[in-house]
């Protein structure tokens, strides 16, 4: 019988017409990310030993690690920087790190007005990591809970400096208020 295919196609079209739109207004509205998504890198200073395995694994050379030996044999992390301007988010540094100090799971807010703001030093990376832990119940992206002294430090920082809200959360709050 002719026309059944046309009727099936029209039925799908009518169903789609009454459904809510599938698109969102990014970056004002964001959806939750999958835990396995290759998002911005998070660097956790408390887990890092300064071995620079992540920097050696990076094909772009966007990770800089500079250490100095301590008298007790450990390494002091003098500089730790990630240049997100050239990072291709391949995740090789995440796989290479034996201590899981660098992990995927950060926010995808790389749409910036100033290109140089994508260059993060160890202080900016630590702030991003602490914001992530504060938003996610003090759990690392792989599911392990943060140590108690880090949780206390994050709570003290949160009292002194309220965490900035992401672009999407600001817009949603503005729309719900009025």
- CA-angle at 142, arms to 137 and 146, nearest 5°: 45
Contact 80, 121 (CB under 8 A): yes
Condensed to tens digits (0 to 9), the pLDDT of residues 27-42 reads 677 777 776 777 889 9
Residue 169 placed within a domain: no
What distance separates the 2 farthest-apart alpha carbons in the chain?
86
Could you tell me if 125 and 132 are in contact, meaning their C-beta atoms sit under 8 angstroms apart?
no
Q: 104 with 41: CB under 8 angstroms?
A: yes
Residue 177 domain-assigned (yes or no): no
Q: Is residue 79 part of a domain?
A: yes
Burial label for 83, CB within 10 Å (0-12, 13-18, 19+), is middle
Number of domains in the chain: 1
- Is 108 within a domain? yes
DSSP-derived secondary structure for 52-85: -HHHHH-SS--EEEEEEE-TTS-EEEEEEEEETT
Q: Which residues pair with residue 80 across a beta bridge?
A: 65
C-alpha to C-alpha distance for 120 and 118, rounded to whole angstroms: 6
Helix, strand or coil for residue 117? helix
Answer whether residue 11 is part of any domain.
no
What pTM does this model have? 0.73
Is 178 within a domain?
no
CATH of the domain at 75: 3.30.70.3270
Range of the domain at 78: 35-162
Q: How far apart are CA 148 and CA 161, in angstroms?
A: 20
Per-residue pLDDT of the chain (178 residues; tens, 9 = 90+): 778 999 999 999 999 889 887 787 776 777 777 767 778 899 999 999 999 999 999 999 999 999 999 999 889 999 999 999 999 989 999 999 999 999 988 777 767 888 888 899 999 999 999 998 998 899 998 889 999 999 999 888 888 876 555 555 544 444 454 4
Residue 3 falls inside a structural domain: no
In a domain, 4, yes or no: no
Q: Which residues of 12-51 are buried (b: 16+ CB within 10 A; e: fewer)?
A: eeeeeeeeeeeeeeeeeebeeeeeeeebbbbbbbebbebb
């Amino acid at each position: 019988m002719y026309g059944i295919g046309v009727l099936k196609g029209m039925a799908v079209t009518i169903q789609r017409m009454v459904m809510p739109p599938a698109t969102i207004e990014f970056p004002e509205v964001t959806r939750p990310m999958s835990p396995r998504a290759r998002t911005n890198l998070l660097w956790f200073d408390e887990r890092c030993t300064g071995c620079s395995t992540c920097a050696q694994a990076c094909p772009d050379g966007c990770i800089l690690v500079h250490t100095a030996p301590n008298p007790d044999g450990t390494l002091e992390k003098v500089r730790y920087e990630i240049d997100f301007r050239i990072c291709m988010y391949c995740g090789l540094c995440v796989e290479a790190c034996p201590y899981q100090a660098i992990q995927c799971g950060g926010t995808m807010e790389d749409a910036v007005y100033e290109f140089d703001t994508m260059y993060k030093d160890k202080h900016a990376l630590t702030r991003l990591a602490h914001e992530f832990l504060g938003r996610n119940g003090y759990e690392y992206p792989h599911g392990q809970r943060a140590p108690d002294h880090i949780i206390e430090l994050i709570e003290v920082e949160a009292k002194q400096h309220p965490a900035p809200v992401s672009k999407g959360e600001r817009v949603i709050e503005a729309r719900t208020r009025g």
